[in-house]
Structure 1
């Protein structure tokens, strides 16, 4: 596994723990279909939460959340309905959250969580 892939997996694990501590329930990780991938799927009460996680080891190329494009958010919107249909589940609503993890491996990672980014 490449170093950037290891960093990404570590960031997703960090984000999952953070979200669970915030009261969300993680119900799926790295779900894939032909249209794309969802990093984390969570439930917050009766709301389905699709989570995009971006991890960086430094700010040399900007903040982690700056890497989330409008096209990616549109794709996540589509993937949310595909995930719910494939699991035959209904929710009172859904939202897309973004979690940025800055983790240089030397201390506690910095986490930024934005709820309802679209």
Structure 2
């Protein structure tokens, strides 16, 4: 029996696909999507020239409780960094590494923040 996804998960998946298409159109190359490990998750791992771009995708329907970009807290950043260390232990990368955020608002405005943290 197939597992039903709730609306929140479907919206998150849609936002990730929207961000992926945006980044591909900007010339980045997809390396891996939804990398999960015991310490966290990385939404998108992209490559731009020689740089590995670790990308967190955030969606907020409204800014009532803060923007999508503001929702990337210090705790979330530390989980992403820990997951990146784990990823690199499996697949070493000896070039530059960058942490970006793609924040998508309810009106589908995309804010790409390079070197976000």
What secondary structure is seen at the aligned counterpart in 1 of 2:8?
Answer: helix
Deviations 1:6-62 (A, max 9, x none): 111110000000111111111111110001111111011111111111112223322
User: Is residue 2:51 matched to residue 1:52?
Assistant: no
Gaps of 5+ in 2: none
Number of residue pairs matched by the alignment: 113
What secondary structure is seen at the aligned counterpart in 2 of 1:81?
Answer: helix
1:70-109 → structure 2 map (5 Å cutoff): 70-87=74-91, 89-103=92-106, 109=108
In terms of mean alpha carbon deviation, does 38-47 or 78-87 score higher?
Answer: 78-87
Return structure 1 stretches of 4+ with deviation > 3 angstroms: none
What is the alpha-carbon root mean square deviation over aligned residues? 1.3
Match of 1:116 in 2: 115
Task: State the alpha-carbon separation in 2 of the partners of residues 37 and 102 from structure 1.
Answer: 21
Match of 1:27 in 2: 31
TM score, norm. by length of structure 2:
0.88
Task: State the alpha-carbon separation in 2 of the partners of residues 112 and 47 from structure 1.
Answer: 20
User: Is residue 2:22 matched to residue 1:18?
Assistant: yes
Task: State the alpha-carbon separation in 2 of the partners of residues 73 and 100 from structure 1.
Answer: 14
Task: State the alpha-carbon separation in 1 of the partners of residues 68 and 29 from structure 2.
Answer: 23
- Residue 78 of structure 1 and its aligned partner are, at CA, apart by 2.1
